Amino acid sequence: MVASLVIGIIFLIAGLGLRYWLNRRKFYRRGPMGAEGFSSYESSVFIKFIEKVGKWIAYGLIIFGLLSLWVYSREKKNREIQNMEIQKQN
């Protein structure tokens, strides 16, 4: 039960951190006029592709983290219901 909580928090923080890092890189790559500066066309294509893949990985991490937290809350609720049923029987 606690593993779901820990995994959820770790994946959620990792996903949000990855999104922050990618957006920060993109922000600091912009020049005064708002255009992104790359040294060559190839680096532009490669970097943008890697950032798109990283963005989708971050979305996956965030979704998996939220699902793990949801599973934890469901397990906790079920355990509380079982405890109340046991107390009623006694």
Confidence tier at 11 by pLDDT (50, 70, 90)? very high
CA distance 29 to 38: 8
Range of the domain at 81: 1-89
Average pLDDT over residues 27-50: 89
Could you write out the DSSP letters of every residue in 36-60? B--SSHHHHHHHHHHHHHHHHHHHH
CA distance 24 to 1: 35
Average pLDDT over residues 58-67: 97
Confidence tier at 90 by pLDDT (50, 70, 90)? low
**pTM of the full predicted structure?**
0.82
Q: Is 30 helix (H, G, I), strand (E, B) or coil?
A: strand
Mean pLDDT across the chain: 91
Tally of domains in the chain: 1
**pLDDT at 36 exceeding the cut of 70:** yes
Average pLDDT over residues 35-62: 93
